[in-house]
């Protein structure tokens, strides 16, 4: 979809603003456990890491097919360690805030379980308990609260002034003419129109709008954006940074009240009308926008920790070798190790 709608609070917490998905802590008891990693001041056992992987695949089902690829699994373990470390650094105030957030998140999570059959089936298949999710959410929330506590007002002002394009609140109407479509059953992408055909159709609808055509009627007829075609193409009071790059730039620079030329993005061509745009001074920002600014700066602190501090933690990975980990000298010459990338901590 063009606009990335905010996830529910419990899922946002689980994803750490779409980025910190790689932490949890579980009590170790029962069967004998094996150490799969050590770091300065701590260790990770196979039992807790396997429990983490169970939750991870429930929260990130698209990764279920690659979770056992050695390189990917090791990255998950390294990031898991980094967030255990950060969570342990949280102040009492940050922990208190985290616990309050988790209480709300768990309420929404339990509500989601009653309404989302697919989620419920995944949770049941992994035999996850509410306490497992609560532990996961508490540590992720502790990391969020801790990293946010490192952010200064001056850093926020600098970020806002440097990247105002991301924080403007805009109201736009648009009609999307797509070049491709996705099969809802197989998720396979197929060509809907050629680039030339999509551009011609976008120009056609722009001419009709410029001639006084009705946005509601034309959006229903022409738009391929399911999120707005039934509402006259309207997205009201959205943070500009949530749009894809080309759309974001157009929404920030296009003259208000004038229908612009078609704008191309990865989704196709957009005919855009900016109805309203607001970029207040920092002291006039809403709490929603301030939170977004803080999150961006927090990601910067996170990256600095990952780059500068994590290498000092003397991490030793002890994951068992698998059959896939064939020595390079023994591997067939035409085969390559699958390229994987863990979700980045922004």
Residues 136 and 222 in one domain: no
Q: Does the residue 223 lie in any domain?
A: yes
Among residues 226, 261, 278, the one where a domain terminates is 278
Residues 186 and 231 in one domain: yes
Per-residue tokens: 44 = 């990770």
The residue among 86, 115, 149 that closes a domain is 149
> Which residue range is the domain that position 256 belongs to?
169-278
pLDDT at 336: 34
Tell me how far apart the terminal alpha carbons of the chain are, to the nearest angstrom: 21
- Same structural domain, 118 and 244: no
Q: Divide the 346 residues of the chain into consecutive groups of 10 and give the mean pLDDT of each group.
A: 44 43 39 87 93 88 88 91 93 96 95 94 94 90 95 98 97 97 82 96 98 97 96 97 96 97 97 97 95 96 94 94 50 33 33
Can you give the pLDDT at residue 299?
94
Q: Is residue 59 part of a domain?
A: yes
Residue 259 located in a structural domain: yes
Residues 194 and 66 in one domain: no
Q: Are residues 139 and 45 in the same domain?
A: yes
Number of residues that make up the chain: 346
Whether residue 13 is found in the same domain as residue 136: yes
Residue 97 sits in the same domain as residue 196: no
Q: What are the φ/ψ torsions at residue 211 (nearest 5 degrees)? A: -85, 5
Give this prediction's pTM. 0.74
Same domain, residue pair 98 and 194: no
Domain count, the chain: 2
Residue 322 pLDDT: 63
Question: Do 140 and 174 fall within a single domain?
Answer: no
pLDDT of amino acid 31: 54
Residue 180 included in any domain: yes
For residues 206 and 139, state if they share a domain.
Answer: no
The pLDDT score that the predictor gives to residue 32 is 72
Q: Give domain status of residue 2, yes or no.
A: no
Distances (CA, A) of 312 to 24, 37, 82, 137, 319: 21, 15, 11, 26, 20
Residue 222 sits in a domain whose CATH number is 3.10.50.40
Does residue 319 form part of some domain?
no
Helix H, strand E, coil C: the string for the chain is: CCCCCCCCHHHHHHHHHHHCCCCCCCCCCCCCCCEEEEECCEEEEHHHHHHHHHHHHHHCHHHCCCCCCHHHHHHHHHHHHHHHHHHHCCCHHHHHHHHHHHHHHHHHHHHHHHHCHHHHHHHHHCCCCHHHHHHHHHHHHHHHHHHHHCCCHHHHHHHHHHCHHHHCEEEEEEEEEECEEECCCCCCEEECCCHHHHHHHHHHHHHHHHCCCCHHHHHHHHCCCCCCHHHCCEEEEEEHHHCCHHHHHHHHHCCCCCECCCEEECCEEEEEEEEEEECCCHHHCCHHHHHHHHHHHHHHHHHHHHHHHHHHHCCEECCCCCCCCCCCCCCCCCCCCCCCCCCCCC
């Amino acid at each position: 979809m063009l606009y990335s709608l905010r996830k529910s609070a419990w899922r946002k917490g689980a994803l750490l603003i779409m980025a910190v998905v790689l932490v949890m802590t579980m009590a170790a008891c029962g069967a004998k456990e094996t150490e799969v990693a050590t770091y300065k001041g701590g260790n990770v056992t196979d039992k807790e890491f396997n429990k983490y992987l169970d939750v991870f695949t429930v929260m990130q089902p698209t990764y279920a097919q690659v979770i056992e690829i050695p390189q990917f699994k090791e990255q998950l373990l390294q990031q898991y360690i980094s967030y255990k470390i950060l969570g342990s650094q949280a102040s009492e105030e940050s922990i208190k805030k985290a616990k309050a957030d988790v209480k709300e998140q768990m309420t929404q999570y339990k509500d989601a379980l009653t309404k989302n059959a697919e989620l419920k089936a995944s949770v049941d298949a992994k035999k996850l308990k509410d306490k497992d999710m609560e532990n996961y959410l508490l540590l992720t929330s502790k990391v969020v609260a801790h990293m946010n506590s490192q952010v200064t007002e001056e850093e926020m002002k600098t970020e806002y002034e440097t990247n105002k394009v991301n924080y403007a609140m805009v109201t736009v109407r648009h009609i999307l003419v797509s070049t491709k479509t996705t099969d809802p059953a197989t998720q396979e992408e197929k060509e809907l129109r050629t680039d030339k055909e999509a551009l011609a159709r976008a120009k056609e609808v722009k001419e009709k709008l410029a001639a006084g055509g009705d946005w509601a009627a034309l959006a229903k007829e022409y738009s391929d954006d399911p999120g707005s075609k039934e509402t006259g193409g309207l997205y009201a009071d959205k943070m500009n940074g949530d749009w894809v790059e080309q759309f974001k730039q157009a929404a920030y620079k296009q003259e208000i009240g004038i229908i612009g030329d078609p704008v191309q993005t990865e989704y196709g061509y957009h005919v855009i009308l900016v109805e309203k745009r607001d970029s207040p001074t920092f002291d006039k920002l809403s709490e929603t926008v301030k939170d977004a600014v803080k999150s961006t700066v927090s990601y910067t602190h996170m990256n600095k920790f990952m780059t500068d501090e994590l290498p000092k933690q003397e991490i030793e990975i002890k994951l068992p070798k698998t059959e896939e980990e064939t020595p390079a000298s023994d591997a067939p010459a035409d085969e390559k190790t699958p390229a994987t990338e863990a979700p980045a901590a922004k």
